[in-house]
Amino acid sequence: MDPLPTLKWKGDSLRLLDQRELPCNEVYIDCRDVNSLAGAIRTLAVRGAPAIGIAAAYGAVLAAITTDSGPDFIEGFQAKLDKLSGTRPTAVNLFHCIEIQREVFRKTGNREDAIKALLESADDLLAQDLDASRSMGRLGAELLKPDSTVLTHCNAGGLATAGLGTALAVIYEAWDRGLIRKVYADETRPLLQGSRLTSWELIRAGIPVDVLPDSAAASLIRDGRIDAVIVGSDRVAANGDIANKIGTYPLALAALKHGVPFYVVAPLSTFDLSTNTGSEIIIEQRSRVELSSYGERQLLPEGAGYWNPAFDVTPAAAITAIICEKGVISPPCEKTVRNMLDGVDMFL
């Protein structure tokens, strides 16, 4: 499968496929400075842990281009990276990629050298993500039985990465091998990333997909209609706990109860060995408006409170395996996670 045009450097700007407009409209936005890119990340025009990280890497290029050379250049550049760091707290790829770019910047001598080096680094990160997706797809497909029906949650496809995906990379590869019969995609309340984005991707790839309410997934698993649950992740802790889109945890519990494999697909850039367990992961809280209205229609009465976490944490004990580009971690625990990441210096 060819990569989706999720994000692309255009010489002096970063072009993003605006995911807020899908599936009805395929609209692109050009971010020419850090403020516009930060706004795009914060409002989910670009989303998904790997895609956010890569976008931030190109954001460092924008920071260098749009900061005047002179005595305040370094301070101004670093302040713009700080702005990108403050957009979303849970997806660790954002912080990994920004730190990589800070280190690249520290090794350069002037503004022109910095722009060139930062762009080369961002291009490398994008290429690495595509390679990782292909590897994870192959490794994950080997875990599925022929004629499988799988369930996925949120969007972990090309729209969430450099263009191919994590969980959906496995599904694409398994479909090409003739292993998948059908995919169920949770709608993924409240922003409907499953119904709007995942189903759009799968239909585009010619893969049969049914969208279901999040609240129906446990019954589907109980009734024996799901052979495997496959999800992505925004952060993997050192002990194998993972943070993913809200609603992932109950899926893992239902799969564990009914003996259905629960697979997490995450590139190495999503692992965070400085976070010991999932309890240490900062969970982003989203605004009331995501629950209180649908278009022009008000859904909540005045005075009603709200709780709108963007992610939840699934413990390693409920996960069958974590698939990364280096291999399959099973069972996930601190020992197996650290063994898999041994020698990956940037994550230690």
Structure tokens given for 98? 């920004």
- CB-CB contact of 67 with 117 (8 Å): no
Residue 63 makes CB contacts below 8 A (sequence gap 6+) with: 34, 77, 80, 81, 84
Residues 62/11, Cβ–Cβ less than 8 Å:
no
Token pair for 55: 């976008």
Which residue carries 């390679």 as its tokens?
131
Which H/E stretch holds residue 263?
Answer: strand 262-265
User: Which of 234, 241, 272, 312 is flagged as catalytic?
Assistant: 234
Give me the long-range contacts of 337-345 (CB less than 8 A, separation at least 24): 337/236, 337/238, 337/239, 337/240, 337/271, 337/273, 338/238, 338/273, 341/268, 341/271, 341/273, 344/268
The rounded distance, in Å, linking the Cα atoms of 160 and 223 is: 30
68 is catalytic: no
Residues 6 or more apart from 203 whose CB is under 8 A from it? 209
Residues labelled catalytic: 234
